[in-house]
Amino acid sequence: MQSTTEIKIIHQPSQEQLNQLGIAKWPIWTKEISEFPWTYEESETCYLLEGDVIVTPVNGQPVQIRKGDLVTFPAGMSCTWNIKSDVRKHYKFG
């Protein structure tokens, strides 16, 4: 059971939802298999084009995000990213 109070995930959003957000115009970030700590200075919304990641917030439950997930991370959250397969994602801060 994943918490929706911190990390919000929409699995397989519709193309219409993606178009409304203008995701195709967002920059792309890529990262190989790795593990690293991260703190969100501001909220981030991202859409995974490729990859499989387990994000574990400090004092929180691990959340798995995969290709096709639309994810929002809250501002101020510290977590660990554990990338299981190479990630390619569109992202937007704020």
Q: 2 in a domain, yes or no?
A: no
- Pick from 83, 74, 73: nearest CA to 36: 83
Question: Among all chains, which residue has been given the structure tokens 């501002």?
Answer: 75
Q: 3 in a domain, yes or no?
A: no
pTM: 0.91
**The CATH number of the domain where 56 resides is what?**
2.60.120.10
Number of domains in the chain: 1
Would you state the pLDDT for residue 6? 84
State the sign of the Cα–Cα–Cα–Cα dihedral 62, 77, 40, 75. positive
Distances (CA, A) of 56 to 69, 70, 92: 16, 17, 20
**Full pLDDT tens readout for the chain, 94 residues:** 344 348 999 999 999 999 999 999 999 999 999 999 999 999 999 999 999 999 999 989 999 999 999 999 999 999 999 999 999 999 999 9
Q: 1 in a domain, yes or no?
A: no
**23: domain range?**
8-93
